[in-house]
């Protein structure tokens, strides 16, 4: 017998909004989206640092059925993406489902339902819990002695302090990952001196950006087919080049390696500096970065690359292990995120009281990146093992949302009361995933945020085509299903 399941979605970022739209399209409107902040947007709301650019082409980094003809660049700036997500929330009618300022502190599965607590003490009950909190939302602060003693402003790049004046200041930038590589060129001409502290060099590809003219944008508005064609073209390019290279295509790997090396050789003329910027691992082992500006920025007269290890932070700056004091006025931490926390610090207790920390004591794993054994009616967007290293996250989330909706519809139809993957199916899937990982570039010997606490890449090791096939429909043989009670 049909029912109206109560559904709680955690997070109003890209994947939370998408999940809401997919449920509405399925005729299910008994859901709420709980967002800890006062706006939608997730990572694009939180990150506002100078130079923020998405490294996936804008026509691909949008919902497939909601193209945006007004992108101003081939690779959208962070503010543009935030505006796009705000507009989608309005146009899709999602705001009536969103509860802002409602952070989910934890949830326990009892008596066939999820009993949920918010950070402000509200108590809710839901039949289905969907974690759409993302995986790059908890900033990682470096464990450096004396960090709290610095006399000037200190802030993480994901919590940019726009009240701090950078003009003429001596700025220390910790980190040369994707964030640091974007910030450096954006601020180098503003600051008095920029000291970039590098732990590990990065491979960089030239950035094939393009600013769209008013005519190009108007054409996209008048001829929507152009947007669909662009989406398909960029999707095919990504799928058959970079996404294939990182999972084992040696010819494509060699091509990317060669392009990265040429980019370094051509743009850094000083052999001593070039040697310090030369990675000792294969291109793609860490997330491959796009930048046509970083090498130019680090060679400016007021810029300095510091690759000597940091000994400690002192009130006036940073002291490195060679005894040198780098005097600074501002310290920016581009040190990444706790990428393997997923929905944490939210606590979860599943069937029989099993906690998430207990389930993940050896590292986070999931069944096909969307569900956990022992946690009935819990689903994840961009969960452990998702293809986060080689494709557009929106496209990945769309496939996952369609998969999840199929299970939710069975609950709504009264066919099943609860569903969770079996431990055997989950173990089998992850054993296969770990075995396949040996053929990927992520297992070739570098330290990256892809690696979990065991040193195993927490990522999808197969093609995007296989991911789509796995997400096409749930294999109910891999699930423990509690049938819905039939009326007498």
Distances from the Cα of 478 to the Cα of 365, 407, 419, 422, angstroms: 16, 13, 10, 6
Q: Are residues 439 and 478 in the same domain?
A: yes
Q: Report if residue 381 sits inside a domain.
A: yes
Q: Report if residue 63 sits inside a domain.
A: no
CA dihedral 177, 180, 181, 184 (to 10 degrees): -160
Q: Report if residue 227 sits inside a domain.
A: no
Q: Are residues 195 and 134 in the same domain?
A: no
> What distance in Å separates the CA atoms of residue 291 and residue 306, rounded to the nearest whole number?
19
Binning the chain into helix, strand and coil, the percentages to the nearest 5 are 35, 20, 45
Q: Report if residue 87 sits inside a domain.
A: no
Q: Are residues 24 and 121 in the same domain?
A: yes
Domain count, the chain: 2
Beta-bridge mates of residue 416: 483
Q: Are residues 240 and 348 in the same domain?
A: no
| pLDDT at 391 (0 to 100) | 82
Distances from the Cα of 162 to the Cα of 195, 282, 360, 479, angstroms: 19, 37, 37, 49
Q: What is the pLDDT of residues 422-477, one digit of tens each?
A: 999 999 999 999 999 999 999 998 999 899 888 889 999 999 999 999 999 999 99
pTM: 0.96
Q: Are residues 130 and 154 in the same domain?
A: no
Are 194 and 50 contacting, i.e. CB atoms less than 8 angstroms apart? no
Q: Mark which of 308, 333, 358 sits at the end of a domain.
A: 333
| pLDDT at 2 (0 to 100) | 72
> What distance in Å separates the CA atoms of residue 219 and residue 27, rounded to the nearest whole number?
34
Q: What is the pLDDT of residues 393-411, one digit of tens each?
A: 999 999 999 999 999 999 9
| pLDDT at 487 (0 to 100) | 59
The CATH code of the domain that includes 35 is 3.50.50.60
Q: Are residues 431 and 308 in the same domain?
A: no
Q: What is the pLDDT of residues 196-223, one digit of tens each?
A: 999 999 999 998 999 999 999 999 999 9
Give me the tens of pLDDT residue by residue for the chain, a chain 488 residues long: 577 999 999 999 999 999 999 999 999 999 999 999 999 999 999 999 999 999 999 999 999 999 999 999 999 999 999 999 999 999 999 999 999 999 999 999 999 999 999 999 999 999 999 999 988 889 999 999 999 999 999 999 999 999 999 999 999 999 999 999 999 999 999 999 999 999 999 999 998 999 999 999 999 999 999 999 999 999 999 899 989 999 989 999 999 999 999 999 999 999 999 999 999 999 999 988 999 999 999 999 999 999 999 999 999 999 999 999 999 999 999 999 999 999 999 999 999 899 999 999 999 999 999 999 999 999 999 999 999 876 899 999 999 999 999 999 999 999 999 999 999 999 999 999 999 999 999 999 899 989 988 888 999 999 999 999 999 999 999 999 999 876 55
Q: Report if residue 83 sits inside a domain.
A: no
Q: Are residues 166 and 309 in the same domain?
A: yes
The count of other CB atoms within 10 Å of the CB of residue 351 is 17
Q: Report if residue 300 sits inside a domain.
A: yes
The radius of gyration of the chain from alpha carbons, rounded to an integer in Å, stands at 23
> What distance in Å separates the CA atoms of residue 344 and residue 321, rounded to the nearest whole number?
35
Q: Are residues 343 and 452 in the same domain?
A: yes
The mean of the pLDDT values for the chain is 95
Q: Are residues 254 and 352 in the same domain?
A: no
Q: Mark which of 283, 312, 333 sits at the end of a domain.
A: 333
| pLDDT at 488 (0 to 100) | 55
Q: Is 33 helix (H, G, I), strand (E, B) or coil?
A: strand
Task: Report DSSP state, residue 465.
Answer: H
Domain residues for the domain of 310 are 147-208+234-333
The count of other CB atoms within 10 Å of the CB of residue 105 is 15
Start-end of H helices in 42-171: 43-46, 78-91
| pLDDT at 345 (0 to 100) | 94
Q: Report if residue 364 sits inside a domain.
A: yes
Q: Are residues 184 and 295 in the same domain?
A: yes
| pLDDT at 389 (0 to 100) | 75
Q: Are residues 289 and 354 in the same domain?
A: no
| pLDDT at 242 (0 to 100) | 87
Q: What is the pLDDT of residues 41-54, one digit of tens each?
A: 999 999 999 999 99
| pLDDT at 76 (0 to 100) | 97
Q: Mark which of 333, 349, 376 sits at the end of a domain.
A: 333
Q: Report if residue 49 sits inside a domain.
A: no
Q: Are residues 152 and 256 in the same domain?
A: yes
Residues 6+ apart with CB under 8 A from 163: none
């Amino acid at each position: 017998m049909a029912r109206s399941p109560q559904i709680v979605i955690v997070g109003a970022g890209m994947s939370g909004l998408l999940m809401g739209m997919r449920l509405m399209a399925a005729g299910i409107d008994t859901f709420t989206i709980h967002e800890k902040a006062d706006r939608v947007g997730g990572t694009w709301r939180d990150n506002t640092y100078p130079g923020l650019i998405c490294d996936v082409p804008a026509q691909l980094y949008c919902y497939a059925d909601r193209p945006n003809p007004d992108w101003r660049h081939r690779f959208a700036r962070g503010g543009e993406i935030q505006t796009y997500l705000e507009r989608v929330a309005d146009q899709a009618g999602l705001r009536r489902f969103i509860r802002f300022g409602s952070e989910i502190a934890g949830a326990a599965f009892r008596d066939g339902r999820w009993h949920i607590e918010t950070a402000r003490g509200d108590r809710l009950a839901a039949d289905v819990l969907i974690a759409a909190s993302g995986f790059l939302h908890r900033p990682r602060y470096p464990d450096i002695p004396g960090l709290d003693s610095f006399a000037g402003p200190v802030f993480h790049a994901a919590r940019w302090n726009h009240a701090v004046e950078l003009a003429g200041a001596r700025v220390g930038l910790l980190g040369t990952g994707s964030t640091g590589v974007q910030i450096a060129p954006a601020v180098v001409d503003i600051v008095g001196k920029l000291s970039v502290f590098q732990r590990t060099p990065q491979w960089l590809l030239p950035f094939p950006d393009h600013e769209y003219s008013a005519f190009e944008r108007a054409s996209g508005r008048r001829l929507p087919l152009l947007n669909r064609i662009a989406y398909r073209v960029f999707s095919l390019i990504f799928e058959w080049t970079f996404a294939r290279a990182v999972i084992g295509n040696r010819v494509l790997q060699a091509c990317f390696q060669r392009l990265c090396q040429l980019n370094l050789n051509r743009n850094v003329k000083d052999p001593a500096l070039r040697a310090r910027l030369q990675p000792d691992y294969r291109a793609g082992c860490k997330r491959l970065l796009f930048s046509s500006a970083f090498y130019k920025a680090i060679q400016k007269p007021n810029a300095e690359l510091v690759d000597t290890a940091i000994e400690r932070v002192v009130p006036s700056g940073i002291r490195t292990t060679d005894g040198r004091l780098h005097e600074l006025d501002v310290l920016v931490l581009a040190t990444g995120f706790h990428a393997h926390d997923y929905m944490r610090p939210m606590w979860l207790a599943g069937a029989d009281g099993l906690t998430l920390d207990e389930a993940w004591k050896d590292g986070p794993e999931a069944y096909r990146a969307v569900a956990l054994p022992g946690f009935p009616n819990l689903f994840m967007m961009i969960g452990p093992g998702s293809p986060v290293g080689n494709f557009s996250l929106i496209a990945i989330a769309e496939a996952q949302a369609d998969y999840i909706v199929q299970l939710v519809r069975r609950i709504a139809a009264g066919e099943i009361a609860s569903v969770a993957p079996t431990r055997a199916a989950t173990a089998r899937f992850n054993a296969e995933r770990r075995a396949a990982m040996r053929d990927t570039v992520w297992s070739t010997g570098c330290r990256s945020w892809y690696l979990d606490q065991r040193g195993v890449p927490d990522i999808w090791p197969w093609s995007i085509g296989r991911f789509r096939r796995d997400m096409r429909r749930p294999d109910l043989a891999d699930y423990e299903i509690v049938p819905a009670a039939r009326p007498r």
